Each structure stands twice: as C-alpha cells, then as structure tokens.
C-alpha cells in the first residue's frame, strides 16, 4: 500500500502549519500572546486577600406565640403554663435539633437573658412549667442552634392564673 498525499486547500494548509510551527524568533517565544495593560498595579507576589468569614448567623425565630394554662390548682394556689412557639429556621441546624431557652419573669420586660428559666428538649415547640404560685408570668423564648448561636428577640407573652372554676355559672 502506497501512502497517498493529502491535498488541502491553501488556506487550510497555512493554518495547520501556523498552528504547529514554533515561533520564528526568540522574541516571539518570550512575549505573552496577549496585551499587558501597564496601568494595572504589578503583583507583589502575595496572595490576594480572602474576604473575612461571615459572622455566625443566629437562628431566624419569631419568638413565643402563646401561653395557655396547663393546670390550675385553686386549692393549693398554684398554676402551670404551656408556653408555645413556631419552629426557628437555621442554615446549619435541623429544626428537630433546635433547642429553645425560655425566660420567665413576674414583671414585663424583666427577664434575665443571662440565665434561661427553662430549656426545651431538641425540636420541642412547647414547654410546660412546673407548678408556680398563682399570679401573672411573662415569657420570652429564644432559639439556640447546634453551634450555640442564639437569637435575640424580645417578643414577650404572658399568662395569668386561672379563675376559681368551682363557683357555679350564672347560666345554671
């Protein structure tokens, strides 16, 4: 079998030769194949700075939504409340792993945010207080993610002691 000559049109043949042929001069071998903008500052050999990492995000949480009376013992003068909320949203913590710190006070706006009164189980959306002396109680609930980031809402809800439900109704 005899090799056959490949015949290409002149334009294509010239492109192929230019694509595989080495540069003709030493200057052509060392100059960049692109235009250098001399107005740009020269690199000083240092890596470009990376932006600072973003501060850890606290969970997004609307706060407590309701307080209901769980149990009322008028004979002993005690009441327990069920404090509820909607789940918080967090970029890194699943709602089932979110915990909630509940702050209780006897006066509005006097919660001690350095020490929660109660802490929920992970993923819980309510907490039932133990029996408390009859009175009005105020609650703020804050979400805490697995990394320990806590939201800072100040939404306050209140619950008041039950009425004496042993008295006959006026309708009877």
Task: Tell me the CATH number at 118.
Answer: 2.60.40.10
How far from chain centre, in Å, is Cα 100? 14
Q: In 3D, which of 150, 154, 88, 159 has the Cα closest to residue 129?
A: 159
Q: CA angle, corner 96, sides to 146 and 152, nearest 5?
A: 50
Within-domain flag for 39:
no
Within-domain flag for 136:
yes
Q: How many domains does the chain have?
A: 1
- Kindly state the tokens that stand for 72: 């009322």
Within-domain flag for 123:
yes
Q: In 3D, which of 51, 65, 154 has the Cα closest to residue 110?
A: 154
Provide the H-helix boundaries in the chain.
Answer: 10-20, 26-30
Q: Express each pLDDT in 96-149 by its tens digit.
A: 999 999 999 999 999 999 999 999 999 999 999 999 999 999 999 999 999 999
Within-domain flag for 135:
yes
Q: Which domain holds residue 111?
A: 64-159
Within-domain flag for 32:
no
Q: Express each pLDDT in 63-108 by its tens digit.
A: 999 999 999 998 999 999 999 999 999 999 999 999 999 999 999 9
What is residue 55's predicted lDDT score, i.e. its pLDDT? Answer: 73
What is residue 25's predicted lDDT score, i.e. its pLDDT? Answer: 55
What is residue 149's predicted lDDT score, i.e. its pLDDT? Answer: 96
Within-domain flag for 16:
no
Within-domain flag for 169:
no
8 A C-beta contact, residue 122 and residue 35: no
- In the predicted structure, residue 22 carries a pLDDT above the cut 90: no
Within-domain flag for 20:
no
């Amino acid at each position: 079998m005899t090799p056959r000559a490949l015949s290409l049109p002149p334009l294509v043949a010239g492109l192929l030769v230019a694509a595989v042929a080495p540069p003709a001069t030493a200057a052509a071998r060392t100059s960049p194949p692109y235009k250098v903008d001399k107005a740009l500052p020269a690199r000083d050999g240092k890596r470009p700075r990376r932006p600072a990492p973003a501060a850890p995000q606290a969970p997004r949480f609307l706060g407590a939504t309701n307080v209901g009376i769980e149990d009322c013992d008028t004979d002993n003068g005690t009441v327990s409340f069920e404090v509820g909320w909607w789940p918080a949203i967090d970029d890194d913590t699943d709602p089932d792993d979110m915990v909630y710190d509940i702050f209780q006070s006897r006066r509005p706006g006097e919660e001690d945010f350095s020490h929660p009164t109660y802490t929920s189980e992970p993923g819980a959306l309510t907490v039932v207080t133990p029996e408390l002396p009859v009175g009005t109680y105020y609650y703020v609930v804050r979400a805490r993610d697995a990394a320990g980031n806590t939201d800072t809402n100040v939404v306050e809800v209140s619950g008041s002691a039950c009425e004496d439900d042993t008295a006959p109704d006026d309708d009877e």
